[in-house]
Structure 1
Amino acid sequence: MKSPVQIKRVYEEPENTDGLRVFIDRLWPRGLSKAALKYDLWCKDLAPSPALRTWFGHKPEHWEGFRHDYAAELQDAQAQARMGEVFQAARGRRITLVFGAKDLEHNHALILAEAMNDYARRHSVG
């Protein structure tokens, strides 16, 4: 079974196969106008907390700690409820999480996609 949630950088062109496009950064990406970014939902509340984002600072040496702490934030009841709302909004379509980070191996979208795909398996959605 294909994962219902995928990730894509905000600077990549949208595709018909993206389904519901969900912008998941707390801050607007540099150099991108609001008109240029194609998204359906902006879920700031699924982004890492400001304190965790600041601590991580996109430093690969903080990755494991960030991964652990952000995964814990995503287990919060509010985050779980928000994930459910996103799946409802998608109405069975694929969900594409769009993010601005340059590092494709150390970013919150990877962790959020994993958490949402896990949510989909547990709740039989997607």
Structure 2
Amino acid sequence: MRATPYAYEARFRTRTPLFADEGRPDMARDSDPVRVRRAYDPVEDDDGTRILVDRLWPRGVSKERADIDLWLKDVTPSDELRSWYHHDRENRHDAFVERYRAELDDATHTEAVDRLVDLVREGGPVTLVTAAKDVADSHVPVLLDHLKHVMKRT
């Protein structure tokens, strides 16, 4: 596993808390405002608002099984960036993180991130759902880190 500044990438599992600055970052607690779950995992009663954070619908997962409350495509990397990254993940990870962070600061992404922040602040758990096979090596840790910083700023 490559070393990164993201607490969320270390030992990433199916549910990861947003603010895991203390303790084990791979263990979600009921008090954690944001959790992460793969689209292929069973839905749990305590998932709260389930938000799909992938640009494409998870292959082979019905809408009923996914039980998605909101699909925020605009918090995901652009098609171009996603395709570019998937062609050489090992050598492009650091550049991907930098480029995705820049995308998250553009107007389209900012509006969607603000909507996500509002949902987290409304209370109750929020579960980000992704089909990524390797969540730790996907866009999700970057999104979580960005969300954490936005929430601290505002």
TM-score w.r.t. structure 1 length? Answer: 0.85
Shift of 1:82: 1.6
SS of the residue corresponding to residue 36 of structure 1 reads helix
Shift of 1:71: 1.0
Runs of 4+ in 1 over 3 A off after TM superposition: none
Matched, 1:85 2:115: yes
Distance 1:93 1:83 in 2: 17
Give deviations 1:23-77, integer Å, cap 9, x for gaps: 0111111121222101111001111001000001172322111111101111123
Tell me the residue number matched to 1:94.
125
| Deviation larger for 52-61 or 98-107 | 52-61
Paired residue for 2:94, among 64, 67, 82?
64
Tell me the residue number matched to 1:73.
103
Q: Percent identity of the aligned residues?
A: 37
Distance 2:111 2:60 in 1: 32
Distance 1:29 1:63 in 2: 22
Residues 119 and 126 in structure 2, CA contact (< 8 A), matched pair in contact too = no
Residues 23 and 42 in structure 1, CA contact (< 8 A), matched pair in contact too = yes
Shift of 1:79: 1.7
Paired residue for 1:5, among 34, 42, 50?
34
Tell me the residue number matched to 1:27.
56
| Deviation larger for 11-20 or 30-39 | 11-20
Residues 48 and 108 in structure 1, CA contact (< 8 A), matched pair in contact too = yes
| Deviation larger for 10-19 or 92-101 | 10-19
Residues 24 and 43 in structure 1, CA contact (< 8 A), matched pair in contact too = yes
Matched, 1:54 2:83: yes
Larger relative contact order (Cα-Cα within 8 Å, sequence gap ≥ 6)? 1
* RMSD after superposition: 1.8
| Deviation larger for 86-95 or 60-69 | 86-95
| Deviation larger for 37-46 or 56-65 | 56-65
